[in-house]
Amino acid sequence: MTDPKEEFQRIGRRLWGEGLVGAHFGNMSVREGTGFAITRNGSFLDSPGEPVYVPMGGKVPPEASSEFRLHREVYRVTPHHAVVHAHPPYAVAISLYRDCIIPMDSEGEMCCPVIPVVIGAPGSMEMAENVAAVLKEGRAAIVRGHGTFTGGKNLEEAYILTSVVEHSCRVLLLSRGDKKRSLYSSQMRNQRA
């Protein structure tokens, strides 16, 4: 069995190396017993230190990530065993003007064919409930102007989904996917008429 601290550091370094997080942005957690282990508040994900145990109910240790509410809510309503939160720049950019992202690349279509964009202030219960509702049915969500949240069977899977979401958003923006999709839809309507 992998040491949780080592797994947090390994995944954190991957997130950092791909530019999916910067400075002390982002957090991650894994379900553990009757609670979950989460990164420390303000930690750098490439060197996150010892995870903090948060019970599903009751008092939360002050050193736990400020977004513990979201992780708690995800574990309360979904079967996911790990959650990764990152701030990938292309996903954040596209979330500013879209309510839902429909990937056009093959990886995105296979892994997360629909990526809802939700609202809520960082650390708020509104954000926690909105993201958990999406992750109850899916594996990825973007909070408008804030970042991605992915759920998986382990940190590796949640990290991979984060990477796929960012790749799909980058492809959409670089290909000007919104305009191409609109043009394609217009051509299809004209052919049917």
Q: What per-residue confidence (pLDDT) applies to 153?
A: 97
Helix (H) or strand (E) holding 95: helix 89-95
pLDDT at 184 over 70: no
16 has pLDDT over 70 = yes
pLDDT of residue 188: 39
Residue 182, pLDDT > 90, answer: no
> Tell me, what amino acid is at 152?
G
Task: Report pLDDT for 186.
Answer: 44
Q: How confident is the model at residue 28 (pLDDT cuts 50, 70, 90)?
A: very high
4-192 belongs to which homologous superfamily?
Answer: Class II aldolase/adducin N-terminal domain (3.40.225.10)
* pLDDT of 1: 53
Spatial separation of the C-alpha atoms in residues 22 and 149, rounded to whole Å? 16
Instruction: Indicate the SS3 state at residue 76.
Output: helix
Q: Where are the domains of the chain?
A: 4-192
pTM greater than 0.85 (yes/no) = yes
Q: What does the pLDDT look like over 126-170, one tens digit per residue?
A: 999 999 999 999 999 999 999 999 999 999 999 999 999 999 999
143-179 burial code (b ≥16 CB/10 A, e <16): bbebbbbbbbebbbbbbbbbbbbbbbbbbbeeeebee
**Tens of pLDDT along 105-129?**
999 999 999 999 999 999 999 999 9
